[in-house]
Chain A
Amino acid sequence: MNTEISLSLNNLTVDYPGYKGSGTTAVKDVSFSISKGKVLGLVGESGAGKTSIARAITRQLVEPGEITGGEIFFEDKDIVTMSQKDLKSYLGSQISLIVPNPKSELDPLLTIGRQLGDVVRTHLKLSKSETKQAVLDVLEAVQIPDHNSRFSAYPHELSGGMAQRVIIAMSLICNPKFVISDDATSGLDVTVQREIMKLMQKIIKEKNLSVLFITRDIGLAAHFCDHLGLLFRGQIVELAPINEFFKNPIHPYSLALLSAFSHSAKWRKVYSTDPEKWSKEFFKDGNVPNSLIEVDEGHLVRMEK
């Protein structure tokens, strides 16, 4: 395989089986790959299956979800079939996850210093004082003001933005190679959101991270992704390098999304499409064409052959 690739999904499928066989397939046949040092943006509306993909990669799906097909390669190792022990040694140290709603994701009973320290000590064999130093360093790196005293703060004492920085710190502390960011800014105020994005951008560049950047906001993705994938009802409908995506969007859903997010009338016009035409074909259940077709180099669109 190509050594340049950091993570790749091959036909990943995730199911949530329900009663009487009435389950949902949240992710269908999703394939993409992320090269080392690159950022892939994954955009989709709420319920599209973004979180399911993120959790599938870490094999932490919420009950009753399960991976029912496909492979997830991280540096030539298939995460899906990996032993629990191997998986644990990757999670947090090589692959890490940034989650939304940071306040409910932190243990309310432990100080953040302790929680960060636990992660460090699980993966790196450091002494007590080295651990503490590592924690303080990473808190400083995510620009937490007054980080010496925040070391012994409890999660409930932090604001939402601060807690998000702690989560980012948590994901960076072991110098991972690959970071998944799932809707990292969704619960925050706009100004805080911007600060967090700036911080992430800086860190990604500095550390040359490979990132799967999941968001609902295509504008946000435009800012610092190298590639962009559009997810709809568990399927990728269009996947392209970022410039290509904005210059030459093909799938009607991409067009609709772009026009909805465009700030100026001019752009709205560029992206406009005849809603009548695709809404009928496209939104009817079961009428999503089943193959991705490469229309240009690296530009895949789901359409009829």
Chain B
Amino acid sequence: MALLRYIGRRLLFVLPQLFGIVAVSFFLLKMIPGDPALLMLGPLASQEAIDEIRSVMGLDKSLIEQFIIYLERVLSGDLGTSWQTTKPVMEDLLKRFPATMELVTLSLLFALIIGIPIGILASLLKKSIINKFSTYYGLLAGSLPDFWLGLIFIFVFYTILGWAAAPMGRLDLGILPPTVVSGSYFIDSLIAGDWETFGNVVAHLTLPVLTLGLINAGPIIKMTQSTMDRLLESDHIRYARSCGLGEFQIVRRAFRNSLPSVLTIVSVLYSFLIGGAVLVEIVFSWGGAGQYALSGVLNADINPVMGFVVWSAILCLVLYLIVDLLYFAIDPRLRD
């Protein structure tokens, strides 16, 4: 019951925000100089097609009416067509977002797996090397361009050592993608139980996940360390110590209490990476949604860009909603 009320309250904030997102993307669209019909249909469009899109979009009507038309279209899932792929943007995005989400999710999981233990150790062992290491790692990881690190990894592990798969997409050319269930090759090949494909998927994921994971472990280490520092000095942890609880128990309690902060930083990184992974996508020819949007930007193909912007904003909102539910699960104080 409390859960429902909590979700309800969240939705109350989310819905206006969704509306705001659509509004902002509409006005961005309007700000583009030049004939929007031409932008949407590409340089080779025929006059009839241009006239048709004009009337569909209501370009001769007032701004408000145009916005309402735009809103209706977005709500019905119509994001226009890309003149580059000649397919509906919705269809293209549904194919490409899973690639991006798979990359981002696995990278962040990797970042968490290395970041949390290092952060905890750095906080527990104040005078150790690991403490110094983590301080500077955080600064350094935030400073390296991920696209450059990806290139260096390709050079070392592919060009020189020959260990990694070719940085040309998600699968070797000869291998067919698994039957689509989730769109993530990683999950789908597992579902299909196709180990050869799965192995190949993992091989292709390794370098990009390593790149993004190592970079994004920085902020996770920093956040884990600073919250653990604060908590290990907190009243209730000191009290638990004076009750003679073992060190493992103490660390577990402190960590549980620092989970909300870690979760916050993960959600921030996640929402940044949905768009921010695009450069790493380019480096590894990943074919994700970011790359699709970018090629739209560079080729004056506006519908994919707007579609991507709207979609990723919505994904971010969903993400924040999930994070809120996790807060709710962790912290009993939110439950009433």
Contact surface of A with B, Cβ cutoff 8 Å: 55, 58, 60, 62-63, 87-93, 96-97, 99, 101, 104-110, 115, 118-119, 122-123, 154, 156-157, 170
Contact surface of B with A, Cβ cutoff 8 Å: 233, 235-246, 249, 253, 256-257, 330-333, 336
Contact B253 A122 (CB under 8 A): no
Please judge, given known A-B contacts A63-B233, A101-B235, whether A107 and B240 are in contact too, CB under 8 Å. yes
Contact A91 B243 (CB under 8 A): yes
Contact B246 A88 (CB under 8 A): yes
Contact A92 B245 (CB under 8 A): yes
CA distance A121 to B199 in the complex (A): 45
Where chain B touches its partner, the secondary structure class is helix
Q: How far is the CB of A157 from chain B (nearest CB, A)?
A: 8
Contact of B332 among A62, A89, A104, A108 (CB under 8 A): A108
Of the A-B pairs whose beta carbons lie under 8 Å apart in the complex, a sample of 14, sorted by A's number, is A88-B245, A90-B244, A91-B244, A106-B239, A108-B257, A109-B332, A110-B253, A115-B240, A118-B240, A119-B245, A122-B243, A154-B332, A154-B333, A156-B333
CA distance A118 to B244 in the complex (A): 10
CA distance A101 to B238 in the complex (A): 13
Contact A107 B236 (CB under 8 A): yes
- B259 closest partner in A (C-beta): A109
Contact A104 B236 (CB under 8 A): yes
Within 8 Å CB of A154, what residues of B?
A: 332-333
Q: How far is the CB of B201 from chain A (nearest CB, A)?
A: 38
Q: How far is the CB of B333 from chain A (nearest CB, A)?
A: 5
Q: How far is the CB of A14 from chain B (nearest CB, A)?
A: 16
Contact B244 A92 (CB under 8 A): yes
Given contacts A118-B249, A122-B243, A123-B244, 20 further A-B contacts (CB under 8 A): A60-B238, A60-B241, A62-B238, A92-B245, A99-B239, A104-B236, A106-B239, A107-B240, A107-B253, A107-B257, A108-B236, A108-B257, A109-B257, A109-B331, A110-B256, A119-B245, A122-B246, A122-B249, A157-B336, A170-B243
- B330 closest partner in A (C-beta): A109
Within 8 Å CB of A63, what residues of B?
A: 233
Q: How far is the CB of A18 from chain B (nearest CB, A)?
A: 17
- A63 closest partner in B (C-beta): B233
Please judge, given known A-B contacts A105-B239, A154-B332, whether A122 and B245 are in contact too, CB under 8 Å. yes
- A123 closest partner in B (C-beta): B244
